[in-house]
Amino acid sequence: MADKNKLQRKTGIILALDVTDEASALEITAAVADLVDAVKIGYPLVLGTGLSIVSKLSKYAPVIADFKVADIPNTDHLICEHVFKAGCAAVIVQGFTGPDSLSECVKTATAFDGKVFVVSEMSHPGGSYFFTDEISKEIAGLSRKYGAFGIVAPATRPERVKELRAVIGDDLKIISPGVGAQGGSAADTIKAGADWVIVGRSIYNAENPRDEAMKVKVEIEKLI
Ligand code: C5P
């Protein structure tokens, strides 16, 4: 079972838990807890159950709040405070809001010994419409400059993971959504330089989520 609050790479898998009810969330998490390094939750689950779900999930694995925080520094601060007071290990924020917003998120996270991941590029087909290669790289550079723990880069475009890795070097972590349901491959994404793949629907919608998580774990292990 993953350490309650510490984000450590063991399997290289983060579960994106976008179910909307508590019973399913806890059942799926319990079934795969030893196969994943963290559970990523977002608006679907938190709006469905409330923020109290964090402490329940934290018994199994560190929780990452994917709220893609994107506001003025003061509002970002208030959101991040709620996230970390609830017991999350990390928060995902947007970088396009600029240096002051980003640094406020990092400052607030650090006060709680928490981590910040910055979205450098979305993983869906329309994700590169506004996030041009140059803008993504600039956001990755800002993330490094302002002390983020890592960035979010698309498993659906492993070549972009590689390019963004070159921008941040080994200083920051990369977490990559888009494996499975969105068509990305776990092996290709890790080979491109990601530290963790984020997998949602292909695990939580599977008849046997544990079997699916195990398949991804084995796929990553084969690379070592
Ligand atoms: O179900 P699936 O595996 O596609 O889930 C991917 C998860 O990663 C979802 O929670 C989605 O909101 C999130 N995400 C993403 N692309 C980004 C950032 C987050 O797919 N760039």
Within a domain: residue 68? yes
Is residue 68 part of the annotated active site? The answer reads yes
Question: Ligand 1: residues within 6 Å at CB?
Answer: 16, 18, 42, 66, 119, 122-123, 152, 154, 177-178, 180-182, 198-201
Within a domain: residue 4? no
145 Cα: distance to centroid of ligand 1 (angstroms): 25
179, 195, 154, 21: CA torsion to nearest 10: 50
pLDDT of residue 8: 95
Domain that holds residue 76: 15-222
Within a domain: residue 79? yes
Within a domain: residue 10? no
Structurally, how many domains does the chain consist of? 1
0.90 cut: is pTM over it? yes
pLDDT of residue 136: 95
Q: What is the CATH number of the domain that holds 90?
A: 3.20.20.70
Q: What is the mean pLDDT of each run of 10 residues along the chain (224 residues)?
A: 74 98 98 98 98 98 98 98 98 97 98 97 86 94 97 96 96 96 96 98 98 98 89
Within a domain: residue 169? yes
pLDDT of residue 4: 57
ipTM: 0.96
Distances (CA, A) of 104 to 97, 98, 129, 148: 11, 10, 27, 11
